Amino acid sequence: MKNPPLPTPSLIPSPADVSWGDDVFLLPAHGITADFGDLARSDRSRLVRVMSFLPPVDAVQPGASADLRFELTTRVVGAEAYELEVSAAGIRISGSTADGLHYGLQSLRQLLPAQAFSRAPLGDVRLRTCTIQDAPALPWRGALLDVARRFFPKRFLLHFVDTLAAHKINRLHLHLTDDQGWRVESHAFPRLNSVGSVRAASQVTHFDEEPETDGTPHGGFYSSSDLAELVSYAADRGIVVIPEIELPGHSGALLASYPEFGPQDESRSVLTHWGISNSLVSPLPEVQEHLRRLLTEVLAVFPSPWIHLGGDETRLGNWERDPAVSEYMRREGIASVGELFNRFMTDLGAWLTTQGRVMVMWDDAFANSPDDAPPAVVTCWRGTDVARQAAERGHDVVLAPVFPTYLDYYQAADEREPLAIGGPITLEDAAGFDPLDARWGDEVRSRVLGMQFQLWTEMMESERHVEYMAWPRACALAEAAWTGRPAASTPGFLDRLADHLPRLAALGIEYRPLDGPHPWQEAGTGRRHHRVGLPIAEIRGALSQAAEDGATAVSLSGERLDGRS
């Protein structure tokens, strides 16, 4: 008599097509054989580096019998597409690129017990036979991590990359610089590290309270070799690391290090409080020259085709007040600081083009003058309607709307939730996010590169708390990015998620349990106690009103509604 079929594993993100068989393949704990076919040596070693969750692997001659077979074939269409077949005879992973094969391995890992996400060796595993055919709907599936507000050690970034790869995320947007810290090593401008990477203290009060700090210095920066390691570790896992160097605003750490890069002489320090500051890099040509030298160093470390130069929340008044800037504007026939801002970003973007890279900027830099905005990929944080408008004007766009992709908002309106900016943005909200609005035409849809979730860290003091805020909401958003549909639209998402959480636990991630925080994750009554903060209804109201009015410059950049203040 046949054994009853094994249980069906839950996969996140949900593959495009799966069919389950009733047979079994035994993956023996003592070791397996693998046929790497005609894979290039570099692709093969890349896959081997991410296969450590499997029993020990012995490579065999191409064509020999093997437990695991990799097949590079144009039959599987799409750079990130793959097929995974488990039959009674063995496992076959097919794809047209090493990226596709890598995703096949990530799905195979989810067919194994959750222990495959830990570093402990597996026992014998009985795998249920299946055929999976899968490809992502969106080419940009991202995560932003703000390491400027909080420095996290390199080991956390590497572990974060492992977790992203397990969810088939392929872009890590590293927010490396801001008013409160500079985190990239610079040889040309060493004060960025000796001065810019450390602040005297960190604000502990909420945005509408009397500012108070913890009185404790905070800092750190990544050496070029740390970053090279991160970039190559991420590349093995299909992830491009996109550096963000914030210009011309959010530049307090840069100006504290090199005050001469600012429009006027004033004493500056790396900021100890959050919110939008007046810091503004000078637009004068000699400063642009320095910036290009600085960016040349950044480009040497990050091979990413995309370089994010910020462009959000600039208070242009400092330019207006500077006589040297006024004189420059007169000389160049520039009528307004808005036009000057456009020129500043356009020139930097044009220079990046000469270096073979593409500029990415926040949507403020588009909304400033929609018909005449600098050519760039636009990261749309102030709702999806600004994305539609940017797409209609020929920009490629990445969706990063505050609701529901800003994971620094509370996960529930509950006194137990530790201090966050406001909200709530619940797991259900994240699971309801539809990255491809049904009302958009093909022209707009074709400009949507994808979406990303954001981890701004003003209120995330530790790695533990970053994980608490990220997971499991990010599981839902990763699913939306892969499938191009709301996670909630695929039946059984919450059940699949419940099966998925032990994988996060095996990775050592301190996620938020579905029924609320563990006692040690709660807000308590101390300085992290729950305050309501920014009501999400108000933000959503402002966004939908702006969409109705056809406005691009939503008032989210005001302090009250800014997710980061």
Q: Which of 55, 252, 401, 563 binds ligand ACM (CB under 6 A)?
A: 563
Q: Which is nearer to ligand ACM, 276 or 329 (CB)?
A: 276
Q: Cα separation of 397 and 379, whole Å?
A: 6
Q: Which is nearer to ligand ACM, 140 or 381 (CB)?
A: 381
Q: Are 451 and 435 in contact (CB under 8 A)?
A: yes
Residue 564 engages ligand ACM in binding (rule: CB under 6 A):
yes
Residue 99 engages ligand ACM in binding (rule: CB under 6 A):
no
Q: Are 274 and 218 in contact (CB under 8 A)?
A: no
Q: Which of 140, 152, 302, 381 binds ligand ACM (CB under 6 A)?
A: 381
Q: Which is nearer to ligand ACM, 136 or 533 (CB)?
A: 533
Nearest position to ligand ACM, beta carbon? 312
Residue 274 engages ligand ACM in binding (rule: CB under 6 A):
no
Q: Which is nearer to ligand ACM, 135 or 281 (CB)?
A: 281
In the complex, the smallest distance separating the C-beta of residue 250 from ligand ACM, rounded to whole angstroms, is: 8
Environment class of 121 (CB within 10 Å of its CB; exposed 0-12, middle 13-18, buried 19+)? middle
Q: Which is nearer to ligand ACM, 136 or 563 (CB)?
A: 563
Residue 13 engages ligand ACM in binding (rule: CB under 6 A):
no
In the complex, the smallest distance separating the C-beta of residue 339 from ligand ACM, rounded to whole angstroms, is: 22
Residue 313 engages ligand ACM in binding (rule: CB under 6 A):
yes
Environment class of 148 (CB within 10 Å of its CB; exposed 0-12, middle 13-18, buried 19+)? buried
Give CA separation, 334 vs 320, 340, 341, in Å: 12, 6, 10
Residue 401 engages ligand ACM in binding (rule: CB under 6 A):
no
Pairing of strands 181-182, 177-178: antiparallel
| Cβ neighbours of residue 354 closer than 8 Å, sequence gap 6 or more | none
In the complex, the smallest distance separating the C-beta of residue 381 from ligand ACM, rounded to whole angstroms, is: 4
Q: Which is nearer to ligand ACM, 243 or 563 (CB)?
A: 563
> What is the residue type of 25?
F
In the complex, the smallest distance separating the C-beta of residue 346 from ligand ACM, rounded to whole angstroms, is: 20
What radius of gyration do the chain's Cα atoms show?
Answer: 24
Alpha helices (H) along 471-565: 473-483, 493-507, 536-549
- At 431, give phi and psi (nearest 5°): -70, -20
Q: Cα separation of 541 and 503, whole Å?
A: 37
> Which token pair is 95?
């794809």
In the complex, the smallest distance separating the C-beta of residue 173 from ligand ACM, rounded to whole angstroms, is: 11
Residue 103 engages ligand ACM in binding (rule: CB under 6 A):
no
Q: Which is nearer to ligand ACM, 175 or 496 (CB)?
A: 175
Q: Are 18 and 128 in contact (CB under 8 A)?
A: no
Q: Cα separation of 117 and 353, whole Å?
A: 40
Alpha helices (H) along 69-217: 98-111, 154-166, 191-194
In the complex, the smallest distance separating the C-beta of residue 556 from ligand ACM, rounded to whole angstroms, is: 8
Environment class of 264 (CB within 10 Å of its CB; exposed 0-12, middle 13-18, buried 19+)? middle
Residue 222 engages ligand ACM in binding (rule: CB under 6 A):
no
Q: Cα separation of 519 and 312, whole Å?
A: 38
In the complex, the smallest distance separating the C-beta of residue 363 from ligand ACM, rounded to whole angstroms, is: 8
Q: Which is nearer to ligand ACM, 99 or 312 (CB)?
A: 312
Q: Cα separation of 437 and 532, whole Å?
A: 30
In the complex, the smallest distance separating the C-beta of residue 396 from ligand ACM, rounded to whole angstroms, is: 17
Q: Which of 222, 233, 362, 433 binds ligand ACM (CB under 6 A)?
A: 362
In the complex, the smallest distance separating the C-beta of residue 563 from ligand ACM, rounded to whole angstroms, is: 5
Q: Which is nearer to ligand ACM, 67 or 178 (CB)?
A: 178
**Which residues are bridge partners to 307 per DSSP?**
359
Residue 312 engages ligand ACM in binding (rule: CB under 6 A):
yes
In the complex, the smallest distance separating the C-beta of residue 564 from ligand ACM, rounded to whole angstroms, is: 5
Pairing of strands 306-310, 32-35: unpaired
In the complex, the smallest distance separating the C-beta of residue 484 from ligand ACM, rounded to whole angstroms, is: 24
Residues that bind ligand ACM (CB under 6 A): 312-313, 362, 381, 563-564
